Amino acid sequence: YTLLVTHIGYQTLRRPVVASRDDTLSLTLALEKAPAVLPATVVTGTRSPRFSDDTPVYTTLVSKEDIAAQGAVRLGEILREQTGLNVIADHGTGVQVQGFDPDYPLVLLDGEPVIGRTAGTLDLQRFAAGNLEQVEIVKGPTSSLYGSEALAGVVNLITRRPQSPFAARLQSRYATHNSADVGAQVELTRGPLGLLLFANLNRSNGYDLSLQTVDPTTPQFTDLTLHPKLTYQFNDKTDLTLALRLNRETQHSVSTIRKDGVESVLDDDDTANDVSLSTQVCWRPRPGLKSVVKLYGARFSTEGRLTRQADNTLQSRSDFVQSYYKGEIQFDATAGTQHLFTWGGGYIGEEVEADRIAAGKQSSHSLFLFAQDEWSPRPYLDLVFSARNDDHSDFAAHLSPKVAALIRLKPWLRLRASAGRGFKSPEFRQLYLDFTNPTVGYSVFGTTTVDQSLSQLQNTGQIQRVLLEPAAEQIEPEKSAAYNLGFDVRPRPNLQVRFNFFRNNVRDLIDTAPIAIKSNNQRVFSYFNINKVYTQGLESDVEVALSPNVELGFGYQYLYAKDQDVVDQIKNGQLFALQDDGRSRAVRPAEYGGLFNRSKHSGNIRMAYRHERSALKGTVRGILRGRYGYADQNANQILDRDDEYLPGYALWNLTLRKSLSPFTVQLGVDNLFDKTDPKTLPSLPGRILYTGVNRTF
């Protein structure tokens, strides 16, 4: 006979047994552990948990193991190595998604929106990686679930929850430029109560790539984060989650100013404070029915001071305060085995107070409703229908629908397709900004203040020439329609290939344009709706396991991003270029390179090695970026000449980790070949060497 023993979490045991009919046998059986490895669970694409392989809305998942393998300590370091994402420096470190600028992806922290953008960019360096369980990225409009600001997609930072009776972790990293990152995490559970405390300190002396100037390329800074999370299980049906996040960043640098022929050295001190509090109560009255009530509040403030070193005289001061409040309720209900319905709604209130805002203070509010049906009509087919309606105090109601499908064509072949609409409301700065740079002298006015502000400049003789009349009507929300078609192919157990074709059609895109030239030869800017812009292309990822110890990965994005109005003007012979001989001629269609700061070709290369016996793990990663438009050289405001491009480049990162239980030691190099360009790439500090030690209790 063959005795077969199976148990979940253990290897199956087969034991030959010889026995007669009346025999009694005594056997000792030992089962070896073999935990079942399930696909990771994601929640961002549908607001409900699904295995990552089985969600119709494709979600890129970066696990805590991936983050550790990269040696990443800040969010920007995590995202820059993901296919289809381009991390750029523009008023902070932001991320482009499918050709959209950092203004357009929505960043969530445990499902709640993060505020505090500067000129549209949410600085990714504000977020520590030490307490992240995983990062989920959904590309393309996701306004059908998350409303405004999700026009390009969503990046959701999911932090850890308390689970162990006691656990503690200390982590540290020291790097070039006297940079340090130190974090601590303590986890406790006692009966129904759970508590996780996370603290992080990140600091650097900054760096200077151009010694000819007084001001540094990147100033010295200190960033402190405190993030406690509390959970409480009232009973088997009701639980509470309460999370507080405190973040404070200070920066110091020096700069110079010349006035009346005298040059003065200034101290530039900036402080940013970010506070958020979220409360969530989940109630499951019976199987298949769940309701979640969420309350969320956030406040972001900055203070900037310029002080003359010689006499400690305050030259200028700028203050900014943004407040955000949201209440939301969500219901989930199953209907049979084929439908999961999700619906809900809520209220959002926002307020901005700043010296650069007209009247010093502005506010708005909105109401929203959303609904979704996850339908599985066949074992091989999953469909998702979702829609959200936002009724904003400053604009008409806006409906954002989306449909997505997953088709399991073969056990090794899956097809995903989606179509949806997104929108983004104008920001406070685009509506109410009233700012003149005290050092350079240029001005920027929002659409509600531009008429009055421009008239005041004209009446005081500060306008030399008007280039463009301000928009007669208030700017409208930006709108998009997006289409995605992707294939997941796994022809062999050790090989996985993914392709995704995307197209985004955007209308009423908001951009700045000069409307006048001042008597000091500086310009006056305001905001306008550009009629049509589109981005389209292909994303591809290949992952192959060469052996149990060696894995390779390749990512590639082909991107085509253009202004449809410019394309039409070129086709009609209405756009001209100035030649070297001083003559002008019509721009040819083949010369137009699309939107600035977008690479047609970009990608990444990854190799991971692990040696189980020595507990050694290593990764080599390459970030590849093709040439991209940098600056207009012939004054026609489009990208159409070779000298308007910057060459492409590659960055190579290396990380080694070794476990010396209970310690983990890490060595790494970022930008291995010391790529720098102080003029065009000031965000690249050159080669960064670092070492780190982690201790787990």
Question: What pLDDT does 471 receive?
Answer: 61
Question: What pLDDT does 378 receive?
Answer: 94
The amino acid at residue 566 is: V
In this prediction, residue 393 has a pLDDT band, given cuts at 50, 70 and 90, of confident
Please tell me the distance from the alpha carbon of residue 53 to that of residue 39, in angstroms, as a whole number.
Answer: 7
Give φ, ψ of 211 to 5 degrees: -75, -5
**Quick one: which H or E segment has residue 428?**
helix 428-432
Sheet holding 112-113, edge to edge: 60-63, 132-139, 153-159, 105-109, 112-113
Question: What pLDDT does 450 receive?
Answer: 87
Question: What pLDDT does 555 receive?
Answer: 97
Please tell me the distance from the alpha carbon of residue 47 to that of residue 303, in angstroms, as a whole number.
Answer: 36
Q: 579 or 268: which carries more pLDDT confidence?
A: 268
Q: 661 or 481: which carries more pLDDT confidence?
A: 481
Q: What own/partner pairs with CB < 8 Å and gap ≥ 24 does 50-54 have?
A: 53/414, 53/488, 54/382, 54/406
pLDDT digits (tens, 9 = 90+) for 98-113: 999 898 999 999 999 9
pLDDT digits (tens, 9 = 90+) for 576-599: 888 777 788 888 999 999 999 999
Q: Which residues pair with 584 in a beta bridge?
A: 578
Q: Which residues pair with 689 in a beta bridge?
A: 669
Q: Which of these, 563, 571, 458, 448, lies nearest to 518 by C-alpha position?
A: 458
Token pair of 435, please? 């700012």
- Residues near 648 by Cβ (< 8 Å), separated by ≥ 6? 599, 601, 624, 625, 626, 627, 628
From residue 583, how far is each of 132, 576, 588, 636 by CA, in Å? 58, 10, 15, 13
In this prediction, residue 447 has a pLDDT band, given cuts at 50, 70 and 90, of confident
Position 257 pLDDT exceeds 90? no
Position 36 pLDDT exceeds 80? no
Task: Quote the Cα angle for 586-592-598, to 5°.
Answer: 155
Position 509 pLDDT exceeds 90? no
Position 391 pLDDT exceeds 90? yes
Q: What is the mean pLDDT of residues 536-559?
A: 95
pTM for this entry: 0.91
User: What dihedral do alpha carbons 93, 96, 100, 105 form, nearest 10°?
Assistant: -80
In this prediction, residue 458 has a pLDDT band, given cuts at 50, 70 and 90, of confident
Please tell me the distance from the alpha carbon of residue 557 to that of residue 446, in angstroms, as a whole number.
Answer: 35
Question: What pLDDT does 473 receive?
Answer: 63
Q: What is the mean pLDDT of residues 188-217?
A: 90
Burial letters 428-467, b for 16+ CB under 10 A, else e: bbbbbbbbbeeeeebbbbbbbbbeebbeebeeeebbeeee
In this prediction, residue 189 has a pLDDT band, given cuts at 50, 70 and 90, of very high
In this prediction, residue 680 has a pLDDT band, given cuts at 50, 70 and 90, of confident
- Residues near 305 by Cβ (< 8 Å), separated by ≥ 6? 267, 268, 269, 270, 314, 316, 317
Please tell me the distance from the alpha carbon of residue 557 to that of residue 221, in angstroms, as a whole number.
Answer: 34
Q: Which of these, 592, 533, 589, lies nearest to 563 by C-alpha position?
A: 533
Peptide bond into 662 cis (omega under 30): yes
Q: 447 or 240: which carries more pLDDT confidence?
A: 240
Phi-psi region of 416 (alpha: psi -120 to 50; beta: other; left: phi over 0): beta
Token pair of 189, please? 């559970």
Place of tokens 């900036």: 270
Position 676 pLDDT exceeds 80? yes
SS3 content of the chain, % helix, strand, coil (to 5): 10, 60, 30
DSSP state at residue 494: T
Position 258 pLDDT exceeds 80? no
Position 37 pLDDT exceeds 80? no
Please tell me the distance from the alpha carbon of residue 638 to that of residue 587, in angstroms, as a whole number.
Answer: 10
Place of tokens 């991107």: 559
Q: How many residues does the chain have?
A: 697
Token pair of 78, please? 């995590």
Burial letters 587-599, b for 16+ CB under 10 A, else e: beeeebbbbbbbb
Which of 212-221, 329-338, 495-504, 609-618 is least confident? 212-221
Average predicted confidence (pLDDT) for the chain: 91
- Residues near 68 by Cβ (< 8 Å), separated by ≥ 6? 657
**β-strand pairing of 443-445 with 523-547:** parallel
Which of 6-10, 24-28, 465-469 is least confident? 465-469
Which of 398-402, 426-430, 672-676 is least confident? 426-430
DSSP state at residue 279: E
Sign of CA dihedral 457, 91, 126, 478: positive
Q: What is the mean pLDDT of residues 542-557?
A: 95
From residue 466, how far is each of 469, 529, 531 by CA, in Å? 7, 19, 22
Q: What is the mean pLDDT of residues 248-276?
A: 87
pLDDT digits (tens, 9 = 90+) for 59-82: 999 999 999 999 999 999 999 999
Position 400 pLDDT exceeds 90? yes
Q: 694 or 474: which carries more pLDDT confidence?
A: 694
Please tell me the distance from the alpha carbon of residue 131 to that of residue 134, in angstroms, as a whole number.
Answer: 9
Do residues 96 and 86 touch, judged by C-beta distance below 8 A?
A: yes
Q: What is the mean pLDDT of residues 538-549?
A: 94
Q: Which residues pair with 487 in a beta bridge?
A: 415, 499
Q: What is the mean pLDDT of residues 76-91?
A: 91
Question: What pLDDT does 594 receive?
Answer: 92
Do residues 470 and 457 touch, judged by C-beta distance below 8 A?
A: no
